[in-house]
Structure formats: C-alpha cells, structure tokens
A and B are shown apart, each in its own frame.
Chain A
Amino acid sequence: MMTDLYQSQRAMRQMRQQAMQRGVVAILDVGSSKIACLVLRFDGSGKLSEDNSIGSMAGQTGFRVVGAATTRSRGITFGEVTAMQETERALRTALQAAQKMADIRVDHVIACFSGANPRSYGLDAQVELEGQVVTESEIARVLAACDVPEYGAGREVLHAQPVNFSLDNRSGLNDPRGQLGQSLSTDMHMMTVDAAAIQNLVHCVKRCDLELAGIASSAYVSGISALVEDEQELGAACIDMGGGTTSISIFMKKHMIYADCVRMGGDHITSDISMGLGVPMANAERIKTFCGGVHATGVDDRDMIDIGGETGDWEHDRRTVSRAELIGIMRPRVEEILEEVRVRLDAAGFDHLPSQQIVLTGGSSQIMGLDGLASRILGHQVRLGRPLRVHGLPQSATGPGFAGAVGLSLFAAHPQDEWWDFEIPVDRYPARSLKRAVKWFRDNW
C-alpha cells in the first residue's frame, strides 16, 4: 500500500517536472461555491523586476499569472464531487476561460480541494545512523521507519511531510543532511483523505484532457498564502472559510502540523437566510453579500432591506426585513461554525503553541464584523488574511476568496519536501518490483 502511494505521488511529481519544463501549468481550486483557475507561466528562476528593485516576494516566486478565470461551481458540495458531469462542465468552463485569457494551451494541472474528511496524524521514528554523516538515504531510511497508523481502507495519503528532525539530542533541525551524529529521529505530519474524493476529482480532470501534476489540500495551500512568514514560523492557525467547508490548518516552523475541516461554510449561511426569509438562494446570497453582518447595532433596526422574490405575488415580492433580523439569522450559524473550529483547534492542542495567531481567510471571512466575533470565540489574536500578492494576478482575484488558488500557485512553484521526494530504501522494495517494472514497460511500449 505504501509503495502504491509512492508510485502515484511520484508520478505526479514527475508530471510537475514536465510542466516546469514546458513552463506552463494550470492551478485549479475546486471549491464548493466557485472554481478558480489560474494559468501560471514559469520564466526561469526568480528574477528581480525591471528596475532591479526587490519586489514583494523578493524575487522568490519565478512565475507569473497569465490567465485567470472563475466560475460558479456545480456538482460540488462540502468540497467533494457529487455530480461528475456537472463538475466536469464547470472545470471546462474555468479552464477554457483561463486558457483563452492566457492564449496558451495548458496540459498540466495542479488541483486542490477542501473536503473529503481530512485527518491528521503525527508520525515519528528513530534510527541509528549507519555511518557518522546524515545522508539523503539515511533520511529516506528514517522516514521509511515511521510507523504508519492504520488509517483505514478507502483513505489515501495526501500529504506526508517531515516537519522536524532531531539528531542525538539536538532537535528542531530543518535539514540535517551532512551533519554528524549517532541517531536520527524525525517527526512527520501525515494527512489522509477519502480516496473516492480524489479519484472523482482525478477522473474529472482526465475528462478535460489534462494531466494532474499535483494535488493538495486547500487547508494547506491557503495557509501558505494567507499566513505571513513569521506567523508560519512561530505558529499560527489559518481558517479558510469557504462555501461548503471551513478548513483549518495549523502551521509551525513553516510546516503544516495539523489540518482539519468543518463541514460548514458560507453556503449554509445562505441557505439559513433563504429558509428564514423565504427567498431564493440567489437573492439570499446577494443579501448576505451586500448587507450581511454579525453585530447588530441600534441603527440596524431601522435599516430595511428589500428581500425580493419572483413568485408573482406583489405583496410577497415586496417584503422587507430589517438588517437586525438578517444579522439575527446569520449570527447563530457563524457562531456555530466558529465554535466548531474552536473545538477542532482545542482538539489539536492549539492552545499549547507558543504563538496563537489565528488568520481568517476565504470568501466567507468577508462578512462584516466577523473578526470581532471570531476573537470573542477563538481568542484574541485574530486577523483577517488576504492572499500574498503574486505577479500578474488580476485585481479581481486578490480577495480572500482566492487564498487557496494563490497558495496553490506558491505550492506549485516551491513544493515542500514530502515523504515521496526521498528515494525509498532498497530493502523496502517488494520482491516483485523488477517483474513489475518489466510489466510496466510492456504495458507502456
């Protein structure tokens, strides 16, 4: 099972390598409320800007967004594909528009999604070094020595990142290669998701004539883009409040150490409004976006909102509600979401981290007054996060709703080392591997 994981993830890494050589890759953020597609062009290693000044990314990105498109997503609920045909059509729409804007044909795509019940595991292992020096094969050995928990059938490992190495009694090493010591131990964060969700997404991407060059959890990638560097270093949680799900990721020492997902999001707020006021979903969405909030003040009682309707009944279609009523509908749901997030963070032991910064991002984080409510429920250090600025990103795609897409771009440009980036130790190969290689050759040529 472990080798299968190795094979598929390594195949995707190779695909990413090919995409880098082609210089063009598409980013697909498959969300429950919208599907965002960015087309990235890699133009060599990071260059400084024309006037030789150091830009916001200090010349570290090396890519440029040449196409961007967003479309309303169909067939996706809770961040998982529920209707394949609809999802495929939505992906095609976004991809076509982005390719048209970029005027480039894209063959490789890196996708992220939020649902599929992510579950985090902390793994560790310790090995005695064969020699004195820590080499790459020693690291592979210690990674392979990790005790993989029984994460259940029908689950798939999405991320497996070594977050910490310690050599003898020195801990907190990022890169122990070349150092001297006796015993090497590692801590690894492994994240599993439902295999069916991945397979559905892979199938949809295949149906669009594209090759999948990587797949990531949107909790992870929105953390990459919404957390600033010192937050990632000192420890922070990123809450990506999307349409169907709210993803939680905790970062420490620039590594994700925990990820989880609350299966509630902006769509639930909308459906609450729709049910409570008896209006169509589209109207409810519009009312939420323009007038929504979570703190009622005195003036809100007098602020009347046309809620509209298309029943044909004049009286019914001309109803109004006060903003206070609207807030009264929205607030319990937002509180529920945040309470649930609180529970997940507590379960992860977030309050033991040295720094307890919480960053809210995602489309639903734009609800007015959310930061006040969140700091009351989650803790005092709450801020609203927007994604990092990247080259060529259109103004329309700089909002917090694009944290996942931008983070995925950064992930595509500079992926962190994962388990499968290291060679599998020889003694872990199954005995039939040669036979299997021959079979693979015969199948492919």
Chain B
Amino acid sequence: MQSVTPPPLTPQLPRDPAPSRWKYRTQRWLLTPGFRLALRIGIPFVVVTMATSAFLASEQRRDALRMFVTETRSSIQERPEFMVNIMAIDGAGSNLAEDIREVIEVDFPISSFDLDLERLRDVIVGLDPVKSANVRIRPGGILQVDVTERMPVVVWRTWDGVEILDETGAHVDSLPSRAARADLPLIAGEGANLHVDEALALLAAARPLGERLRGLVRIGDRRWDVVLDRDQRILLPTDDPVRALERVLVLNEVQDLLERDVAVIDLRIEARPTIRMTENAVEDWWKIRKINGSGQ
C-alpha cells in the first residue's frame, strides 16, 4: 500500500542547534554594553530629532506652532484671575500720588504677567519726594504701592531758587519762595546740601537763640556761618563747629554778647576769638576813649 502522506522532500537531518554566523554576531553585539546603550538612548534620540526636524522643516508649520504657543500663552495670561484692575497708593500725599500715577504709565486692566514690578518700583523710587517704595499685587487684582515720603527738614536757598531738603540732603521739592515753608530753618551756600546733618546739629545747638537766628551759610564749602538778625554773624571753625557755637552761647548768656553792638564774632581760630564791632559802636568807643583819655 502506498503511503497517504507524501514523503518529505529532503531527508530528515539531525537537528543542529548551531546559530548561524550572523545570529551569533548579533547576539554578541547585543551583549556589548556600548551597543546596548546606543540602542536604548541613541535610536530614540535620533528618531525624535528626525521627527522634530521634519516637522519644523516647513515654514507654515513653524508659524502655526509659534502662533499656537502665543495664543495659548495669552489665553492663560488673560484669565480674570491674573488681571490687575486698579492701583492703590498708600503713604503719599495727593500731589505725589498723582505724580506716581503719571510716571508709571500703566493702562489698567493689565495682566499681572506683563507688570514688571521691579521696574515700577525703580521708577517710583526715582521720584524726588519718595524715600522708599514697595510695590506688590494684592489679591483681588489691586496693584498696591506703599510709599514712604521724604520729610523736608531744611530750606536751601541757592542762586537758582529755593529748595527743601530732607535730613540726608536729598532734594524733596522746589519752593516758589522762602515764605512758602517759613516753619523750616534756612541754609545757604554752595555745598550746603551735602552737609545737612552738620547743619541740623548746629541748628539744634542754636535753639537758645530763638527767633534771632536767620539761618546758616556754608562758606567756601568748608565751614559754617551762623547769621542772626541785625546783620550779626558768628563765624564758626571747620573743625567742631558745634562746640564753638556753644562757647558763643555761653558767652552770650554770661555777658549778653549778642545783645551788644557786635557785627561779627569770629571763632575761626579757636585760640583767638575775635569780635568786630559795628561802625557806630567803634565811633562811640573812640569818643569815649577821647573823653576818658583826656581825663586820664
């Protein structure tokens, strides 16, 4: 009887498990650490790079991508949660508040992403009357500006006009005339604004002079003169003017020096205080000396 199934075409060889040369090499490559690393990292990297560069190769797709990014960005930034609607200014007078509003040039409502608080603060601090400022965004969409104003302490008269200065000598404001701030003491002279602290010490020491004090004058950007009414002057030394002034005040207390007809008290040389009398006084003194001299 003939077999139903056809015999196999090739005779049955004994099974040989030997790998082919290429299979063997492939397996050895796959066991090489560097090759495996290249497969694991290099191929994904290359694929991603190629896909990205293929996508970005077209100008149109690049623009679309850029547009998409911009739109998404602005749609997030312009959500009502991030909008700033009004500005509140604390610690500034009405004039200063108006100045601040003028300089910061912000059109409300604005997204808080577009506000550069650091720049705003620098602009506000750049204003003369502002000593320090604190700018932040308060919950509820309010731009909060906390301002500390400079306090004027002296009036400085120069050739160009009258200014008020704070205790550091910084410019606060310009005045139309001295009379606008009659309550503040007056200083004058070149460089006086740089030595406001000395001036304040002298003014404090000169408080016993009361209403007689007219002001301080900086002479030669070097030393101070105290100017009293009746054209009296006290010339103070460069070093330690406060002590010299106190000496004068003590003299005044004891001998009423300033009540007399004295034009200048010169303390520039400490060891040799000098007094210059007025012209009338000198003439009177000469007369008296003549009378007395004949009598002597």
Contact = CB atoms under 8 A, between A and B. Distances in A.
Contacts of B32: 105
B21 interface: yes
A92 B21 contact: yes
Interface string A100-116: 10011100000000000
A-B pairs, top 9 by smallest CB distance, nearest first, are: A89-B18, A105-B31, A93-B18, A92-B24, A105-B32, A96-B19, A105-B28, A93-B17, A96-B24
A92 B31 contact: no
A209 B23 CA distance: 13
A104 to B, nearest CB: 6
Interface string B28-43: 1001100000000000
B2 interface: no
A208 B21 CA distance: 8
A93 B18 CA distance: 5
Contacts of A103: 31
B27 A96 contact: yes
Contacts of A409: none
17 contacts: A74-B16, A89-B16, A89-B18, A92-B18, A92-B19, A92-B21, A93-B17, A93-B19, A96-B19, A96-B23, A96-B27, A99-B27, A99-B28, A99-B31, A104-B31, A105-B28, A209-B25
Nearest to B25: A209
A355 interface: no
B26 to A, nearest CB: 10
Contacts of B24: 92, 95-96, 208-209
A71 B17 contact: yes
Interface of B: 16-19, 21, 23-25, 27-28, 31-32
Contacts of A208: 24
A339 to B, nearest CB: 34
Contacts of A105: 28, 31-32
A422 to B, nearest CB: 36
A337 B18 CA distance: 33
Contacts of B28: 99, 105, 209
Contacts of B18: 89-90, 92-93
A217 to B, nearest CB: 26
A71 B24 CA distance: 15
B263 to A, nearest CB: 105
Interface residues of A, number: 15
Contacts of A92: 18-19, 21, 24
B37 to A, nearest CB: 13
Interface in A190-234: 208-209
Contacts of A93: 17-19
A90 B28 CA distance: 16
A208 B19 CA distance: 11
Nearest to A97: B17
A362 B31 CA distance: 33
A440 to B, nearest CB: 29
Nearest to A99: B31
Contacts of B31: 99, 103-105
B17 A100 contact: no
A102 B167 CA distance: 84
B23 to A, nearest CB: 8
Given A95-B24, A100-B27, A105-B28, 6 more contacts: A89-B16, A92-B18, A96-B24, A99-B27, A99-B31, A104-B31
A326 B23 CA distance: 43
A104 B32 CA distance: 8
A269 B246 CA distance: 134
Nearest to B32: A105
Nearest to B31: A105
A103 B32 CA distance: 10
Of B18, B21, B25, B32, most buried by chain A (CB within 10 Å of CB) is B18
Of A95, A96, A208, most buried by chain B (CB within 10 Å of CB) is A96
Of B16, B24, B25, B32, most buried by chain A (CB within 10 Å of CB) is B24
Contacts of A89: 16, 18
A208 B25 CA distance: 8
A90 B19 CA distance: 9
A250 to B, nearest CB: 37
A267 B235 CA distance: 133
Of B19, B25, B28, most buried by chain A (CB within 10 Å of CB) is B28
A281 B132 CA distance: 105
A90 B25 CA distance: 15
Of A74, A89, A95, A208, most buried by chain B (CB within 10 Å of CB) is A89
A122 B24 CA distance: 43
A373 to B, nearest CB: 33
Contacts of B21: 92
A104 B33 CA distance: 9
Contacts of A74: 16
A96 B32 CA distance: 13
A209 B25 CA distance: 8
A226 to B, nearest CB: 29
A59 B216 CA distance: 99
B82 to A, nearest CB: 55
A246 B27 CA distance: 35
A74 B13 CA distance: 14
Contacts of A104: 31
Contacts of B23: 96
B7 to A, nearest CB: 13
Nearest to A95: B24
A74 B28 CA distance: 22
A96 B30 CA distance: 12
Contacts of B16: 74, 89
A95 B17 CA distance: 12
Interface string A400-411: 000000000000
Contacts of A100: 27
Of A93, A99, A105, A208, most buried by chain B (CB within 10 Å of CB) is A105
Nearest to B16: A89
Interface in A82-136: 89-90, 92-93, 95-96, 99-100, 103-105
Nearest to A282: B14
Interface string A307-351: 000000000000000000000000000000000000000000000
Contacts of A95: 24
